[in-house]
Amino acid sequence: MSFRAILLEKDPGFSARVTQIDPRRLEEEAGGGNVVLRLSHSTLNYKDGLALTNRSPVVRKWPMVPGIDGAGQVTESDDPAWPVGASAILNGFGVGETHWGCLAEYARLRSDWLVPLPVGLDARSAMAIGTAGYTAMLCVLALEDCGLRPSEGEILVTGAAGGVGSIALSLLASRGYQVCASTGRSQEEPYLRSLGAAQVLNRGSLAVAGKPLQKERWAAVVDTVGSTTLANALAQCRYGATVAACGLAGGMDLPTTVAPFILRNVRLEGVDSVMAPLALRKRAWEALALELRRDHLATITTEIGLDDCLSEAPRILAGEVRGRLVVDLRR
């Protein structure tokens, strides 16, 4: 029986559409996958937006089913660690880029890519968290593994109204940190304060090129933007601060100098969610299941159907989407 999925094609020209897929085609296209998941929920991330609009060379194999996140139950498996009926989460590993992804009712995946659904989460809440929330937790863990504690001072979160930023803000505030949320959307100040922001900063002050060293302020930074914003955040860090960099919404360049690193002992920690090892993934997901406030998660989340992804993709790239978009694949 066929199932619904978004299919991206490049020949004769780029197209993105919701269509019916024959399961035999899934087996042919997703070679190497030894587990089949019946997916109930997925998400729409920034990277998915790029793929769905063909705005960046995210997709490297054609045709492609996009979707870097998925949650559901095992229906087929040749791995005893993943019996039929087990609940699993998928994030990253090139799924939706080089391997057919999760904006579909079924996905064939490798068993060593999967994380067990933690106790306390269902598929919908796991996808409300998704790669964005999992990345946010990786950033928090990276900062604390470098010695950060709440008593050290203000933490800056850039792109705070987005998916990663919203969840990073909630997690840090819940852990007792004083968080300053940077955003270009002044209308989102009540939303950001409801998640725990002690202060809201207009991103314009970070988006214009500044001096290599500026007044010391931040004990740590979670940066989702990159480019000039990251350069200014580094320049404003206090001595010994750590910056967790995980995004490039503002660009891939980094117009900075070595001054923050060699004069203020600032540490720049790169945070990758796509190929992170399984042990770190499990650590992050277990912490999310225990710590992330469900009322905050509800505030952050908007639910859409599979057909809605095509219209929402340009909006997420334009920075018009607040928080997280959960895709109910049964709609």
Predicted TM-score (pTM) of the model is: 0.93
- What is the band of 12 on the pLDDT scale with cuts at 50, 70, 90? confident
* Long-range interactions of 303-308: CB distance < 8 A, separation 24+: 303/124, 303/327, 303/328, 304/44, 304/328, 304/331, 305/331, 306/4, 306/5, 306/6, 306/18, 306/103, 306/331, 307/18
Tokens of 37: 């998941």
Mean residue pLDDT across the chain:
96
pLDDT (average), residues 306-315: 97
Domain boundaries, the chain: 3-117+294-328, 131-270
User: Is it the case that residue 78 has pLDDT exceeding 90?
Assistant: yes
pLDDT (average), residues 44-48: 94
User: Is it the case that residue 138 has pLDDT exceeding 90?
Assistant: yes
Classify domain 131-270 by CATH architecture.
Answer: 3-Layer(aba) Sandwich (3.40)
What pLDDT is recorded for position 47?
Answer: 93
Helices (H), the chain: 23-29, 46-53, 123-145, 163-174, 189-194, 204-207, 227-235, 259-263, 278-291, 294-300, 309-317
What pLDDT is recorded for position 189?
Answer: 96
CB 252 within 8 A of CB 227: yes
Task: Give domain 3-117+294-328's CATH number out of 3.40.50.300, 3.90.180.10, 2.160.20.10, 1.10.10.10.
Answer: 3.90.180.10
User: Distance (Å, rounded) from C-alpha 256 to C-alpha 254?
Assistant: 6
